[in-house]
Structure 1
């Protein structure tokens, strides 16, 4: 029986309230960030880490991370 393929590396989503906070968190990780425009937000991708400014409040954060 052939060996199973290795599982893909997990991704980590970091949701902050505002873009300035997201950008400050991004500085903690090495390398340049790729910007991916999403409806209503810009996602920063740093390797396996995705950072998004999701807004203030649980409903807005939940809606922003669901896209």
Structure 2
């Protein structure tokens, strides 16, 4: 996979330092996700199509109440 240098934070990162969320990066074929609090730790990668289907499903079903 190509180098993922274009990490972007979620718009839901919150106030303050904004380190309470995830960051994503993409290449032509994959999407990657990491924890913004510890960006040097593990990165999850998914084929772009699988990630797109996941995001679509989340938007369709919404988020559960806490």
**TM-score under structure 2 length normalisation:** 0.29
Q: Please identify which structure carries the higher strand content.
A: 1
| Structure with more contact order per residue of length (Cα contacts < 8 Å, sep ≥ 6) | 1
**TM-score under structure 1 length normalisation:** 0.29
